[in-house]
Structure 1
């Protein structure tokens, strides 16, 4: 389980460590006793109980067996998987290909009613054109040396976009002006993508804001993130995919979104920036 700076992930690790330490105490065992029963060094049991080293599923089985609590193995292993899922490296997330990673997010999209998305790198996937998505995913596939299932991954993302037009959902998208000029896929692809943004911005349930490039802005760009209702945040970093559910952290991202939204321009002013980016492509 990779470590992350997120307190959501740390809290999940700590909760698991506390449960394991509680089992040890309930069995009347010290850390040394448990280490001896499991055939470990004393330091290993101490590191696990203090959340300094994450246990493996096999460690949990051995721990429960040593404490005479085999019935707890399944629940504790589930806690481990939850904690692991809060931080997923791209290599692990995409080991079966890009299509599966795209399909895995659909249930979250279907149950969400209010979406807030901020992007400083790319146009958000929900409002990408097919050609833009293809160019972006092809670049990822080549850079990371993944199995080539780009066509299937593109189809999965396009299918996921149906939630933009279904039900009573609301969407707020913020993009940095630099995203409009990133040149993904070349001039023709970018021209089509920018035209699509103009179309999306006209939808009554969609807000599209562009944060202008200015030398005196008060809030600098941040990593791209999605807020799903008020329950979950997902952050895409260079090294992996972070899931945040801790309410205090979710509020921090909501506050950051509000600050960036206050810097953005909308309506005719946003259309002017998009059109200017299109004109620059010739």
Structure 2
């Protein structure tokens, strides 16, 4: 079921129950206008919204289970990268900027690359230039749009938390000179009032697996990066799984001066290698 079908089904169930929209909305702790937008497919309901509406309508447990499964499936949306690329990578960056402008808390876990908001222009271009099917103009516009997004780093009304794994700092997917500048950028960004950068070191016992990158937008949604697609999850139960995973990695990471010392030590290793090359 898509959001329109779920909304229509909820309206049919409500009408069959004989309950008026205002009464259902009141019991579901939402405004009548929100219920109307859900029923007409104008708003995509969260799984929690559907749960409260079904409870207010008073459906049987079997019916509730059926529609809750559909709601949770609809609360997860995957968009193939090729479709995002076809629509315009720079437009995707602009949409992200709009989303980030509305949130107050952003938590990013990244085991593969330096997070986009912390990337230098050289790192951005080097990453994008790996793709043979991207034109120079596409690379330029996408890099520019990502740099524009970085203005959020200086917004002290936001809280931006980044947890990356140590291999990200050592992974030379870019030339060493680019990586040296990128590591310096991480150190300088970590000193901004709204920014918290943490690194999970490779040494020591580990109790979880990095899996893949993800970004938690407040506590409302999670954007997950897979090989073929970006997956957006909005079911509160799914979001809570990622919040828990982020917090556990954050607790095992180094921060502050210890984090900066780790990054600067790796940077100095690259500089020594260049001097002896």
Q: Taking structure 2 as the reference length, what is the TM-score of the superposition?
A: 0.71
Name the counterpart of 1:226.
Answer: 215
Q: 1:157 aligns with which of 143, 146, 164?
A: 146
Say whether 1:130 aligns with 2:110: no
Q: 1:98 aligns with which of 89, 100, 109?
A: 89
Instruction: Determine helix, strand or coil for the equivalent of 2:129.
Output: helix
Q: Distance in 2 between matches of 1:266 and 1:130?
A: 25
**Does the 8 Å contact 1:132/1:193 carry over to 2?**
yes
Name the counterpart of 1:241.
Answer: 230
Say whether 1:121 aligns with 2:112: yes
Point out where structure 1 has 5 or more consecutive residues left out of the alignment. 1-11, 27-71
Q: CA deviation at 1:174?
A: 0.4
CA RMSD across the alignment: 2.9
Q: Distance in 1 between matches of 2:178 and 2:8?
A: 52
**Does the 8 Å contact 2:105/2:218 carry over to 1?**
yes
Q: Distance in 2 between matches of 1:170 and 1:77?
A: 31
Q: CA deviation at 1:20?
A: 6.0
Instruction: Determine helix, strand or coil for the equivalent of 1:106.
Output: helix
Q: CA deviation at 1:85?
A: 8.2
Say whether 1:107 aligns with 2:119: no
Q: Distance in 1 between matches of 2:159 and 2:259?
A: 19
Q: Distance in 1 between matches of 2:178 and 2:159?
A: 27
Name the counterpart of 2:263.
Answer: 274
Where in structure 2 are the equivalents of 1:17-96 lying within 5 Å? 19=8, 75-76=40-41, 83=74, 86-96=77-87
Q: CA deviation at 1:215?
A: 5.7
Q: Distance in 1 between matches of 2:87 and 2:193?
A: 38
**Does the 8 Å contact 1:117/1:173 carry over to 2?**
yes
Instruction: Determine helix, strand or coil for the equivalent of 2:242.
Output: helix
Count of equivalent residues: 221
Structure 1 stretches of at least 4 aligned residues deviating more than 2 Å after TM superposition: 12-23, 74-79, 82-85, 145-148
Cα pair distance change 1:84/1:244, threshold 3 Å: closer
Cα pair distance change 1:276/1:242, threshold 3 Å: same
Q: Distance in 1 between matches of 2:225 and 2:146?
A: 16
Name the counterpart of 2:57.
Answer: none
Where in structure 2 are the equivalents of 1:208-227 lying within 5 Å? 208-214=197-203, 216-227=205-216
Q: Distance in 2 between matches of 1:20 and 1:114?
A: 34
Q: CA deviation at 1:96?
A: 3.0
Name the counterpart of 1:62.
Answer: none
Q: Distance in 2 between matches of 1:179 and 1:277?
A: 11
**Does the 8 Å contact 2:222/2:232 carry over to 1?**
yes
Say whether 1:196 aligns with 2:185: yes
Q: Show CA shifts across 1:165-210 (max 9, x none).
A: 1241111110000000111321111000000111011122211110
Q: Show CA shifts across 1:135-191 (max 9, x none).
A: 11222x32xx24441001000000111111124111111000000011132111100
Q: Distance in 2 between matches of 1:199 and 1:167?
A: 16
Q: Distance in 2 between matches of 1:100 and 1:162?
A: 17
Instruction: Determine helix, strand or coil for the equivalent of 1:86.
Output: strand
